[in-house]
Amino acid sequence: MRKLKAGAACALLLTSAGCMQYLVQPPQPSLAGTPQTVQANAYLGGTVQQPAFVSAARCRNGEQLGRVLVRRNFWQGFISWVSLGMITPATVEYTCANAGDPPVGGGDS
Amino acid sequence: MAAPQPSFNPKTLWQNFHESYKQAIVGEWDISMPQQAAPLTVADLKETTVQFQKLIAEARQKGLKARAVGSSWSLSKAPTTTGWTFNTNRLRGRFKVPAADVDPAYPGSADQKAGLYLFQCGNTVADVNKVLEGDGHKRALFTSGAANGQTIAGATSCGTHGSALGFGALHDHIVAIHLIASGNSHFWIERKSRPVMSAAWVQQLGATLKRDDDDLFNAAVVAFGSFGVINAVVLETAPRYLLETRPATAKLDEALWKVIGALDFSTHPLFKDAGKPYFFQAVINPPTDEVLIMANYRKDGPASYQPNYDLISEPKSIGPGFDALSIVGVILDKAKQAIPPFSQLAAKQLFDTKPKTGTPGEIYGFKPPLLHVASGSIAVALADARKTLEALIALYKKIGPVPLVLGCRYVRKTPALLGFNKFDIGLMISLDGVDSDNTRKFFSAAADRLDELGIDYTQHWGKVNAYTPARVQKAYGGNVAKWLNKRREVLPDAGDRAVFDNDYIAQRGLAG
């Protein structure tokens, strides 16, 4: 039983090794639309990037970014590890932000 | 300047905000406000109506399903479609209803008349709070769910509630609905017993006024997107108030059972001097007899009070990562003995133990987002509260530890035909936890157990639920047929209804 538990712990460590995620968001997120996913690769320790930069192309009409999440799953981490960081794939997920708060209309003034 | 037109995105995989499930779609449409920087006008509402009608007609012509989606917040599959999603969370127009546009027969008080606001569907609960509680208005919602990221149309369509002891659910603020049902129809729906907007205003909008009875409104207000696209709603609001939170922990003894099981605050040491709170919630962690309590007392605040809604993560703070629960769920499925300590730790981590005072929008404000949460809710009459909770605690102990806690909240009855809050005073038991096999099994077993015990109950439409057509029928009786008939009143054509059908309502006997 103890060996089984140790094996399970090792398996868990292996599957989570190399995985990561970082979330960036403003203090009051106001999201516009749904998250858009872009697969990105960095080569040679980030010297070269594909795409050259992640364009938040769905954010239009003055919208900025509402949330950015960078994720790396087990396989992406594995590739990075076996290539000694020469190839570092990640998944970038961005969501647009509403372009400000619309003014409140109406009233009796 | 021409209004921005809907923009198509050929995205084929949609998932809900909490990433607890995925859905294949044909694509999504982003809908924008005709003018972002100017106050919302009737002309803007008309322009958005035309845009939606074109899309709905095109979906029907192509044989596609469609559905409006707000913040994708639901844990149930209520908002799913296999066709086009219409992203509505850019539609954030809002205005205070001028007295001149209120119907002379509006039965509300002068204060209620002065507190009517129209919000477009894409305003989040956070947006609504910010507008109402701001300097120019000093109003507030009567109640609010724990989260604020849902859009007002999405949250209310699925029956989101809070735990204000003297009020109903979030949808009970709504007194008028602008519904776009098909490519050639849109309706302004109110209760016959509570006319709100003047006929002249509705005529200016170009909508068909529907207030011949109360049933159509009571059907459309909780319809999970099945009646068409809700473009806007009018809310009644309260004068602004503050909530003083008094978090505490207590043993689940007879004195606390009086509170949790009967809302009797007269004898428990925590309440006998303080009295009945405005908002009350108790969180039971079944393996222990320790209950986390949140009692919020309503108080007036100074007119100069400035709410601050910012959610700031301190640079050196440590907390669960955005996706922490996906790993935790897998671990807890394999290592059940870790569940009780985990539940205790998680409940304390997620439960704000520092007393504070703020507006409802601050207290139920922005929270660190977490993926892979699982939550289901069951509502029972207050008279069945203790029996139900004891049955669920016994079930928990019988099937083994499950990574969830039982949150107890209380809501008054709604007139909505399929409202989750159908009881005069209902105990809403949230089964909140980590998305895992064991949690999902517990949700299903809980409904089975209540059936065995013959307890009358409803389930939250926007959370994981075990509704079947028979259970929906048993919960709502004759209201189901009324709801279906009212759906046919605004969508008389089977082809138009089919656009807004989805598996979720079909599996609950509510499609077609």
Predicted confidence at residue A18, as pLDDT, reads 72
> What residues of B are in contact with residue A29 (Cβ under 8 Å)?
149, 366
Predicted confidence at residue A6, as pLDDT, reads 66
Picking from B96, B94, B141, the residue whose alpha carbon sits closest to that of residue B120 is B94
Distance CA B490, CA B487 (A): 6
Q: Is residue B291 within 8 Å of residue B251, measured between CB atoms?
A: yes
Please count the CA atoms within 13 angstroms of the CA of B386 that sit on its side-chain side. Answer: 14
Residue position matching structure tokens 């009018």: B234
Burial B168-182 (b: 16+ CB within 10 A, else e): bbbbbbbbbbbbbbb
ipTM of the complex: 0.90
Mutate to test the interface with A, among B92, B128, B130, B325 (most CBs of A within 10 A): B92
> What residues of B are in contact with residue A106 (Cβ under 8 Å)?
39, 95-98, 101, 118
Please give, rounded to a whole number of angstroms, the shortest distance from the CA of B456 to a CA of chain A: 38
Q: Is residue B459 within 8 Å of residue B379, measured between CB atoms?
A: yes
Please give, rounded to a whole number of angstroms, the shortest distance from the CA of B151 to a CA of chain A: 10
Mean pLDDT of chain A: 88
Distance CA B62, CA B190 (A): 32
Instruction: Please state, in angstroms and as integers, the Cα–Cα distance from residue B237 to each residue in B87, B111, B197, following that order.
Output: 27, 9, 16
Q: Does the bond joining B360 to the residue before it have cis omega, within 30 degrees of 0?
A: no
Predicted confidence at residue B227, as pLDDT, reads 98
> What residues of B are in contact with residue A108 (Cβ under 8 Å)?
96, 98-100
Does residue B290 register a pLDDT over 70?
A: yes
Contact A101 B310 (CB under 8 A): no
Mean pLDDT of chain B: 94
* Segment holding A37, helix H or strand E: strand A31-43
Q: Is residue B309 within 8 Å of residue A28, measured between CB atoms?
A: yes
**Which chain A residue lies closest to B72 (C-alpha atoms)?**
A34
Predicted confidence at residue B287, as pLDDT, reads 87
Question: Six-digit token pair at B471?
Answer: 């259970």
Distance CA A107, CA B95 (A): 7
- Per run of 10 residues, the mean pLDDT along chain A (length 109 residues) is 64 65 94 96 93 94 95 93 94 96 83
The DSSP code for A101 is P
Question: How many contiguous H segments (helices) and E segments (strands) does chain A have?
Answer: 2, 6
Predicted confidence at residue B194, as pLDDT, reads 98
Going by their DSSP bridges, the two strands B116-120 and B229-236 should be labelled as antiparallel
Burial B199-212 (b: 16+ CB within 10 A, else e): eebbeebebebbbe
Mutate to test the interface with A, among B94, B102, B135, B197 (most CBs of A within 10 A): B94
Predicted confidence at residue B384, as pLDDT, reads 98
Kindly report, residue by residue over A67-83, the tens digit of the pLDDT. 999 999 999 999 999 99
Query: What mean pLDDT comes out for the span B369-391?
Result: 92
> What residues of B are in contact with residue A8 (Cβ under 8 Å)?
334
Quick one: B242-300+324-466 is in which CATH superfamily?
FAD-linked oxidases, C-terminal domain (3.40.462.10)
> What residues of B are in contact with residue A31 (Cβ under 8 Å)?
71, 89, 149
Please count the CA atoms within 13 angstroms of the CA of B128 that sit on its side-chain side. Answer: 39
Q: Is residue A80 within 8 Å of residue A87, measured between CB atoms?
A: yes
Global confidence as pTM:
0.94
Backbone angles phi, psi at B357, to 5 degrees: -130, 135
> What residues of B are in contact with residue A103 (Cβ under 8 Å)?
37-39
Contact B312 A106 (CB under 8 A): no
Facing A99 at nearest CB: one of B36, B41, B69: B36
Q: Is residue A32 within 8 Å of residue B70, measured between CB atoms?
A: no
DSSP B465-498: ----HHHHHHHHTHHHHHHHHHHHHH--SHHHHH
Kindly report, residue by residue over B61-87, the tens digit of the pLDDT. 999 999 999 999 999 999 999 999 999
Distance CA B76, CA B376 (A): 9
**Which chain B residue lies closest to A16 (C-alpha atoms)?**
B327
Please count the CA atoms within 13 angstroms of the CA of B85 that sit on its side-chain side. Answer: 27
Distance CA A4, CA B237 (A): 59
Facing B39 at nearest CB: one of A32, A62, A103: A103
User: Residues in chain A whose beta carbon is closer than 8 A to a beta carbon of chain B?
Assistant: 8, 12, 16, 21, 23, 25, 27-34, 36, 58, 60-62, 69, 71, 98-108
Q: Is residue B243 within 8 Å of residue B296, measured between CB atoms?
A: yes
Q: Is residue A78 within 8 Å of residue A19, measured between CB atoms?
A: no
Please give, rounded to a whole number of angstroms, the shortest distance from the CA of A103 to a CA of chain B: 5
Predicted confidence at residue B436, as pLDDT, reads 82
Query: What mean pLDDT comes out for the span B35-62?
Result: 97
DSSP B81-121: -SSEEEE-TT---EEEPPGGGB-TT--S-HHHHHTEEEEET
In this prediction, residue B326 has a pLDDT band, given cuts at 50, 70 and 90, of low
**Which chain B residue lies closest to A11 (C-alpha atoms)?**
B331
| DSSP helix/strand/coil, B148 | coil
- The alpha carbon of B38 is separated from its chain's Cα centroid by a whole number of angstroms, namely 29
Does residue B345 register a pLDDT over 90?
A: no
Query: What mean pLDDT comes out for the span B56-64?
Result: 98
Kindly report, residue by residue over B418-464, the tens digit of the pLDDT. 999 999 999 999 998 888 888 888 999 999 999 999 999 999 999 99
Predicted confidence at residue B350, as pLDDT, reads 62
Query: What mean pLDDT comes out for the span B197-206?
Result: 98
Q: How many CB atoms lie within 10 A of CB B45?
A: 23
Contact B334 A8 (CB under 8 A): yes
Predicted confidence at residue A15, as pLDDT, reads 56
Picking from B429, B479, B463, the residue whose alpha carbon sits closest to that of residue B449 is B429
Contact B99 A29 (CB under 8 A): no
Three-state SS string over B407-459 comes to EEEEEECCCCCCCCCCCCEEEEEEEEEECCHHHHHHHHHHHHHHHHHCCCEEE
Burial class (CB in 10 A: 0-12, 13-18, 19+), B216: buried
Distance CA B93, CA B269 (A): 47
Query: What mean pLDDT comes out for the span B185-205?
Result: 98
Predicted confidence at residue B353, as pLDDT, reads 75
Q: Is residue B380 within 8 Å of residue B454, measured between CB atoms?
A: no
B346 beta partners: none
Predicted confidence at residue A109, as pLDDT, reads 46
Mutate to test the interface with B, among A24, A98, A108 (most CBs of B within 10 A): A98
Regarding the domain delimited by B7-239+485-506, which CATH topology (the fold level of the hierarchy) does it fall under?
3.30.465
Question: Six-digit token pair at B392?
Answer: 């669920």
Instruction: Please state, in angstroms and as integers, the Cα–Cα distance from residue B21 to each residue in B73, B371, B432, following that order.
Output: 11, 11, 17
Query: How many CB pairs below 8 A link A and B?
Result: 109
Contact A23 B9 (CB under 8 A): no
The C-alpha angle with vertex B157 and arms to B498 and A102, in degrees rounded to 5, equals: 110
The C-alpha angle with vertex B363 and arms to B271 and B115, in degrees rounded to 5, equals: 100
Torsion angle (degrees, nearest 10) of CA B13, B17, B18, B19: 10
Identify the residue with better confidence: A70 or B324.
A70
Find the range with the poorest average confidence among B9-13, B357-361, B363-367: B363-367
